[in-house]
Structures are given as C-alpha cells and as structure tokens.
Amino acid sequence: MLTEEASQGGEEPPDPARLSALKAFQSAGRKFWANVTDADWNDWRWQLKHRITRLEQLERLMPTLTPEERAGAVLADTKLAMAITPYFFNLIDPSDENCPIRRQVIPRLEETDTAPWEMTDPCGEDSHSPVPGLVHRYPDRVLFLVTDRCAAYCRYCTRSRLVSNATGYDFHPEFDRQIDYIARHPEVRDVLLSGGDPLLFSDEKLEYLLSRLRAIPHVEFLRIGSRIPIFLPQRITPELCAMLRQFHPLFVSIHSNHPRELTTEVRAALERLADAGIPLGNQSVLLRHVNDDVTVMRAHVQKLLMCRVRPYYIYQCDLIAGSAHLRASVRRGLQIMEGLRGHTTGYAVPTYVIDAPGGGGKVPVSPEYVLSRNKDRVVIRNFEGRIFEYPEATDGTPLFKGVPPLNESDFV
C-alpha cells in the first residue's frame, strides 16, 4: 500500500512556467538606496551599520506594514532583536503580505503566542555543553558557538535564547576554555563553528580562531555554518576567501530557504568561496508560506546546484517559543521529499531531519520506500509508486577464507 505522501507527492502537477520564474537569477537591486555609492553599498561594514533595526525605519521603507508586523517590531527587542541588512531588505515585496522573504525577518505579533510544548532551548543545547558555548552531543564532533551576533535575525531562530542578546542571556564565549576542551578530547575530529554567525568576525579574528583549531592534531575537519552569504554577500571578499583556504579541509554550510534568496550577488559570493576550494552545503528550515511547497523547494535545490552548493539538510522547524505561525507540518515535509527524490538530480536532494526535542540530535525522516522486508525478500517502491521485489542476499557465506560471517547483530 502506498503512503499518503507517496500518492500526493507523485500527483503534484509540474508547472514549468512557475518553476522557471522561481529559478531566474536576479539582482536584489537598490530600490530604497538608489543614492548610495557603489563603494558604500558593496562595503559589508556599511551594510551592517545601516541595518533596519527600528520600527520607524520599517514604517518609512514599507508603508504597507500590517498591524501584526507593527506590533511584532515593537516587541522584538524583548525576544529576538530585529535586524535586516539593506541588501536583503530589497528582496522583500512590500505589496505581498505573504512575501516569503518578509515572513523570515519581519517580526509578527504571533511571536508572543506560545504553546506548552514550545521551548527556549528546543534542542537541549545548554544541557549538552561541557563548557559554555560548546555543544558536544555526538561522539566525534562538536558545535562551537563563537558569537551571539548575526547579520540579520531569522524569526524562527533555534538559538534565539542567546542570539542578539534580546533576552539578556549574555553569551560570552571563552575561546580558551572551548579550545582547551577540544584539545583534551582526542575523539573530537570535527569542529563546527556557528553561533550567531562566525563570518561576522574580522578576517584577523577568524584566522586566529581557525589557526588555533588547526594546531590541534586530532582535529581533522573544520566547518563554518553561516547565513552571511545570503544576508550579506558583500562580506565574502577575495581576502576572506584567501584566508579561509589555508585551513582545508574546510567546508561551509550556508542557510538559504527560498529561491529568491539566490540572487546574482549571492551566486557571485558563493562562486568566490567555491573557487577557494571550499565545498558548500545548504541547510534550509521548512517554513510555512515560505518554502512548504514542492515547486518552490524543487526550484530552490536546483538553483543551489547552479551556485555550486549541495543541498545538505532540510530541518523540520524546531519547537522554538512563538514559532507556530512559521512551522509547517512533518506531513508537508514528507510530501516535499517525495516530490524531490527521483524527480530531480540526486545531488539536489537533501536529508530531511527533525532535531529531536529536548536534545536527541538530528533524526532523519523519510517517505517509506521499503514496503516490507523479511529474510527472503525486500519489497520496495520507486518514486512513481511502482512496486519491486529484491530477493534478499545471504550474509552467512564468507567471501574470503578467514573472514568471519556477518551476523544479524552486526546490523543493529
């Protein structure tokens, strides 16, 4: 029997016109800042200094602000600060109340609605921190939080308890203690720098941190999680890329949710990173009325490949307090996965995960392709819903003399 997702995903009517509009690469433009010089506009520090952080600025730039947004902007400073770079603000369509860009960065009154199952630390990070700012949940890798600042703030941020310091969390990472922990734990072979956004640091500060991590012999692999290529592509300077390339193997995971975020400016920034030999992945969060739609997601993952970025994860939105209006259902997420696998390039298909509430880590969730399985056969279905049988192989016969046979228990 086919799952509900299978039948719905398969029946999604292809709409080539909509797909090609979503896939077009366009510049973000400069509609509100036409008089700013190119030198200023392309200077990432200018962009940061001129972020939209106050209700008055929002109202001036966007007379179509709704009462819910106005109330949200007033309350934002007590929850998660509002900040939007001028560059990214240009992607908002002021005439569309449901603009997918707008919903991600403009606060709304609904953020004050909280349900009993929502949390300030939905992934239980604080309880898995051996030293402040270091989350050691998995056996061989750590999450290294370097700052509480971002170029802009996402209204569904899973780390809004500390990011932007609006709730007074007062996050002060102590690099010496964090690095010392890693140095004393030889099992840590992978360090993921995140925050906040590590690429907000100056080149010098980031270089200092990366050199200290590279000096630890058992640290094999470094990666940086950053939304800066999307919020502030001006930050991806040739100098930054030249500095980063000294630390290979170094991967960068970007965070893009909608094809409109992939502008010509972003594509150029991602090319600079890729040309520095940095493998790029993308993490998306599944968000209601933003990207909870097969056509949008398909355009997004295909466009990511054109930017030399491999879609890595789609996250089910964490149970962050006040995020109900942005959370899409797992049912929807499964339909989207169903509409990707087989329908487009395998490289474009990310893994859909739920970060288990309370701190269980990322758990993959997938449409059901194995319909039944016993010791003789596996019954599977393909992306079109056709059913196939695969006669199970026996693991009991050793291939080579002296190699012990595999047992059922080897697989659990």
Ligand X SMILES: *Cc1c(COP(=O)(O)O)cnc(C)c1O
Residues that bind ligand X in the complex, under the rule CB under 6 A: 135, 137-138, 141, 143, 192, 362
Which candidate, 270, 275, 336, places its Cα nearest to that of 304?
A: 270
Q: How far apart are CA 64 and CA 97, in angstroms?
A: 8
Asked if 138 is an active-site residue, the reply is: yes
Dihedral over Cα of 227, 108, 354, 305: its sign = negative
195 prior amide bond cis, ω within 30: no
58 binds ligand SF4 (CB under 6 A): no
Asked if 362 is an active-site residue, the reply is: yes
Q: What distances in angstroms separate CA 7 from CA 58, 343, 372, one per listed residue?
A: 44, 14, 18
285 DSSP β-pair partners: 315
Report, in Å, the least distance between residue 135 CB and ligand X: 4
Pairing between strand 361-364 and 351-356?
A: antiparallel
Pairing between strand 377-381 and 387-391?
A: antiparallel
Which residue's structure tokens are 């058992």?
Answer: 218
Report, in Å, the least distance between residue 196 CB and ligand SF4: 6
Q: How far apart are CA 289 and CA 98, in angstroms?
A: 7
Asked if 189 is an active-site residue, the reply is: no
Give the residue with the Cβ less far from ligand X, 137 or 149: 137
Give the residue with the Cβ less far from ligand SF4, 6 or 152: 152
Dihedral over Cα of 115, 120, 125, 127: its sign = negative
Asked if 159 is an active-site residue, the reply is: yes
Report, in Å, the least distance between residue 355 CB and ligand SF4: 13
Report, in Å, the least distance between residue 141 CB and ligand X: 5
Report, in Å, the least distance between residue 245 CB and ligand SF4: 23
Work out what residue 197 binds among ligand X, ligand SF4, none; the CB cut-off runs from 5 to 8 Å by kind: ligand SF4
Give the residue with the Cβ less far from ligand X, 129 or 335: 129
* Residues between 218 and 237 with contacts to ligand SF4, criterion CB under 6 A: 227
Binning the chain into helix, strand and coil, the percentages to the nearest 5 are: 40, 20, 45
Q: Please tell me what DSSP assigns to residue 28.
A: -
Work out what residue 137 binds among ligand SF4, ligand X, none; the CB cut-off runs from 5 to 8 Å by kind: ligand X
Report, in Å, the least distance between residue 79 CB and ligand SF4: 12
79 binds ligand SF4 (CB under 6 A): no
197 binds ligand SF4 (CB under 6 A): yes
Report, in Å, the least distance between residue 188 CB and ligand X: 11
Work out what residue 51 binds among ligand SF4, ligand X, none; the CB cut-off runs from 5 to 8 Å by kind: none
Report, in Å, the least distance between residue 143 CB and ligand X: 4
Give the residue with the Cβ less far from ligand SF4, 122 or 339: 122
**Catalytic pick among 103, 137, 260, 381:** 137
Among 33, 144, 153, 181, binds ligand SF4 (CB under 6 A): 153
Work out what residue 124 binds among ligand SF4, ligand X, none; the CB cut-off runs from 5 to 8 Å by kind: none
CB 278 within 8 A of CB 244: yes
Burial class of residue 186, CB neighbours in 10 A (0-12, 13-18, 19+)? exposed
**Catalytic pick among 223, 318, 332, 352:** 318
**Catalytic pick among 87, 99, 102, 157:** 157
- Alpha helices by DSSP H, listed for 66-194, are 67-75, 86-89, 100-105, 175-184
Stretch that binds ligand SF4, among 23-31, 147-155, 210-218, 259-267 (CB under 6 A): 147-155
Q: Please tell me what DSSP assigns to residue 126.
A: G
Asked if 355 is an active-site residue, the reply is: yes
Which candidate, 334, 204, 227, 208, places its Cα nearest to that of 280?
A: 227
Angle at 45 between CA 41 and CA 51, to 5 degrees: 75
Stretch that binds ligand SF4, among 30-38, 194-202, 236-244, 366-374 (CB under 6 A): 194-202
Site string for ligand SF4, 154-173 (x = CB under 6 A): x--x-x---x----------
Asked if 99 is an active-site residue, the reply is: no
150 binds ligand SF4 (CB under 6 A): yes
Asked if 369 is an active-site residue, the reply is: no
**Three-state DSSP class for residue 368:** coil
Concatenate the DSSP letters of all residues of 40-90 into one string: HHT-HHHHHHT-B-SHHHHHHH-TT--HHHHHHHHHGGGTS---B-HHHHT
Give the residue with the Cβ less far from ligand SF4, 196 or 259: 196
Site of interaction with ligand SF4 (CB under 6 A):
150, 153-154, 157, 159, 163, 195-197, 227, 255
Catalytic residues: 137-138, 141, 150, 154, 157, 159, 318, 355, 362
